[in-house]
Amino acid sequence: MSYAMVLCAALEGVTGHIVRVEADLAAGLPVVVLSGLPDSALNEARERVRAAIVNSGEPWPQRRIAVNLDPADLRKRGSAFDLPIALSILGGTGTLPLAGLDGVLVLGELGLDGSVRPVRGVLPMAAAAARQGIAKAIVPVGNAAEAALVPGMRVLAADTLGRVIGFLRGQCALIEPPEALPQPGGPQPDLADVAGQEMGRLGLEVAAAGGHHLALFGPPGAGKTMLAQRLPSLLPRLDDAASLEVTALHSIAGVLSPGEPLLRRPPYQAPHHTASVPALVGGGSGLARPGALSLAHRGVLFLDEAPEFTRQALDTLRQPLEDGTVTLGRSRGVVVYPAQVQVVLAANPCPCARPTGDAACACTPQVRRRYLGRISGPLLDRIDIQLELPPLKAAHLFTDATARESSPVVAQRVAAARETAAARWAGLDARCNGEVPGTVLRQRRWRLPDDVTRELRRRLDTGAMSARGHDKVLRLAWTLSDLTGLDRPGKAEINTALTLRDGGKP
């Protein structure tokens, strides 16, 4: 027999597709011809496969070897094809029986020494195989835990090509994946750790309940980062579908921790202001790596010292925040990754990073305006809650942490408020108040009585507030009303919303 086929998979964005790796060996000059739109990494596969086969003690066939990856029109990136290519070539020589690979997904990169190395994106590839009725997979040892997350998938792991060859010849066994342990998850930062900052805590709770973006202004040490880090602890845990989706993105980025293969908590990403554009939105050669924006999908993206990010970096965030997806241009076509994030941004009130009113600050109002103006165009417009945090007073630091509300307590209120909002907007393409279009809020059905919105309309009429700002206040008021358990917002909720909207913002 001079023909053999092994099943593998390729990714388009986060969606996996089954690829048939075929090898045909014929008389002729001993060359390897790869077809089926291989990228440059795949050409390097040729050398790795040859060395791995020879170093596993198998003779290299001195024949013309044609390897085809089918379907041809599917773009294939990355190094997961090495192991299937090697096995199909050996199968084609007739020296290796491939009956054990019938209906089995095979993934893995090969080292020159014949070792099987982990690859990125195993979870979404195994999930795609399961959808097509494939119930068995052979993957690198380092990827076994994530592959085993796919319901109904029987996973076996390999550390060397030699072991897979031995397995197919009935001479040795593959490696069982580690047993799925209940997720310990480790301790999470808790809201009870945050001293003082009542407005900041309220802002965080409202942001969590309504899915509102949040901006925190304040001097260093006021607790901006502490608050931002605690937002995920207030958000509902991810449901099964969201959990697999988020984990798949981390799998493609190759950042899954072996100890916690399935991500159940909303992720938190805090890229540094010197981060490159690819680090923020994704990129790189071969299989594109999701950036911080996609790794924060269904979670929190924290931009600390937001004015220090480059204009270019801030601009690249604009479209993804609007669409909930990141589109990466590739040499051939594009890759789209999901990126529905809740943004928290933080900034010092002025470039010298001293508190407002500090005598040593020589920044003119103009300088301060220009500093914060850097974030205003692309980002600040979209942010519902904008708060200035005062410097912490010593008294705050000495209050007993047990007297403060903890994250689980607040998370319960948040969950209840989210349920109320989801039920109200059930017919719309919105899951929380932050996503509801202004036109809906202003419809007769949801319009609030004139005496409730008087102050809001006054600000709009006098030009003190934009139409966009007006809608944001309405959204916040609905969230406050949901948190309080009211039927709809009253004057008090509008007033609090106004304070959250631009409470003491510099």
Residues that bind Zn ion (CB under 5 A): 350, 352, 361, 363
What's the rounded Cα separation, in Å, for the pair 100 and 487? 62
Backbone angles phi, psi at 266, to 5 degrees: -55, 130
Closer CB to Zn ion, residue 363 or residue 460?
A: 363
Closer CB to Zn ion, residue 266 or residue 349?
A: 349
Min dist CB 217 to Zn ion, Å, is 13
Return the DSSP state at 299.
E
Closer CB to Zn ion, residue 190 or residue 358?
A: 358
Min dist CB 361 to Zn ion, Å, is 3
Min dist CB 352 to Zn ion, Å, is 3
Structure tokens, 472: 């944001």
Cβ atoms of residues 64 and 29 within 8 Å: yes
Cβ atoms of residues 339 and 326 within 8 Å: yes
Min dist CB 463 to Zn ion, Å, is 29
Min dist CB 359 to Zn ion, Å, is 11
Min dist CB 351 to Zn ion, Å, is 6
At residue 340's C-alpha, the angle toward residues 339 and 341, to 5°, is 100
> What stretch of H or E contains 484?
helix 467-484
> What stretch of H or E contains 89?
helix 82-93
Strand partners, 289: 283
Closer CB to Zn ion, residue 311 or residue 369?
A: 369
Cβ atoms of residues 501 and 386 within 8 Å: yes
Q: How many CA atoms lie within 13 A of 422 on its CB side?
A: 9
Cβ atoms of residues 119 and 256 within 8 Å: no
Min dist CB 348 to Zn ion, Å, is 8
Residues near 63 by Cβ (< 8 Å), separated by ≥ 6?
2, 25, 26, 27, 28, 30
Cβ atoms of residues 218 and 388 within 8 Å: yes
Closer CB to Zn ion, residue 5 or residue 389?
A: 389
Cβ atoms of residues 314 and 379 within 8 Å: yes
Closer CB to Zn ion, residue 41 or residue 350?
A: 350
Closer CB to Zn ion, residue 100 or residue 506?
A: 506
